[in-house]
Structure 1
């Protein structure tokens, strides 16, 4: 799960991370399942298309709603617009992206029992929080 706005001029990443830890303190681990390949033909930002592995997880949606209740949502990315996924390719030609959509994959399942905080400005992990 990506939190798109951990650090702002008004709220340093450490303050937002501390609040996120507080909000996530009693949240359970969540089951996730990769169910297929899909794409964002016109992503909200960055180069198109974005090919991704589609993720099914009611628990991940619950975590997302919990964070949206605690923090403002980013329009067109969060709230009702949220699409859990694992990005596998970005950019390139549409024909190649479309060919990837035709691939069948075996479902992959696992349990998410911790979340990592990532500092994009410094390109490092800045911390973790356990779930469950």
Structure 2
């Protein structure tokens, strides 16, 4: 392993996976990325060490599951991408970790949105 301009580059014991890590000035991990199965996978962190976002790119476009978190580590959004476009259901969460809404995508276009209150009850829907 070696340090390169604030990044730590390394390889697994078989030499098949290269991992790049970058760090905040305070020494905390800022990001990790590696290539596996033809996709660039990443994890971005807050300065407090909690995960901020994780996902992957394939051919330069978002692909596969993505997750976003708040600074306390609570999940705020979950989205699935295919060839750069959101597909299927996406979930949005409140700070208390309860589901606050759902977005439904078809062929990359938003088709329906749902909002829920703090009790999880459906309070609004909109078709697109």
TM range (shorter): under 0.3
Q: Flag the structure with higher helix content.
A: 1
With CA pairs under 8 Å and 6+ residues apart, which has the higher RCO, 1 or 2?
1
Q: Flag the structure with higher strand content.
A: 2
